[in-house]
Amino acid sequence: MARVTPQEYVEEVLSLVERIPEGHVMSYGAIADALADASGRNSARQVGTIMARHGGGVPWHRVVNSSGRMPPGHEQEARERLLSEGVPLKGEHVDMARASWRP
DNA sequence: GGGGTGACCCAGT
DNA sequence: TACTGGGCCACCC
């Protein structure tokens, strides 16, 4: 029983992404877990798809996978932005141990 | 109506 | 953290 429409779920995800403080990042799973009850479904994969389709208006570079890996095709851009915000990077991936953030 | 795809995750090694 | 294998579910053809 979906309490919110898919569009509202997208808005929830984008809203949470905008809430991520500078210098920190959040994993897709963490976002899905934080909004799990908002729609009754929890799948990091759906969050990733949402970001791919509607992440153009939010700091998508602050969202990475659990390994600290960046979205394919935007790795360099994400790396530059994270570095500019002071996010601890470890080579080509984010240092989750220090950058991971939780609402 | 059926099948493949993907900005992923977890457990075990 | 890294690598492998298996699972999950909305979206697209």
Lookup: tokens for A62: 């602050």
Q: Which positions on chain C have an atom < 7 Å from some protein CB?
A: 1-2, 7-12
Query: What is the pLDDT at residue A43?
Result: 83
**Alpha helices (runs of H) in chain A, residue ranges in sequence order:** 6-19, 28-34, 36-39, 44-54, 75-85, 96-99
Q: Which domain CATH number covers A90?
A: 1.10.10.10
Q: What is the model's pTM?
A: 0.90
CA A26 to C1' C11, whole Å: 24
Per the CB < 8 A criterion, the answer to whether A100 and A28 are in contact is no
Instruction: For residue A1, tell me if it sits in a domain.
Output: no
**pLDDT tens-digit profile of A16-49?**
999 999 999 999 999 998 986 554 455 899 999 9
Is a pLDDT exceeding 90 seen at residue A3?
no
Phi and psi at residue A72, in whole multiples of 5°?
-60, 130
Q: In the predicted model, is pLDDT for residue A53 greater than 70?
A: yes
Name the residue closest to C3, CA to C1'.
Answer: A67
* Structural domain that includes position A70: 6-99
Distances (CA, A) of A75 to A45, A52, A61: 18, 13, 9
Q: Looking at the 3D structure of chain A, how many domains does it have?
A: 1
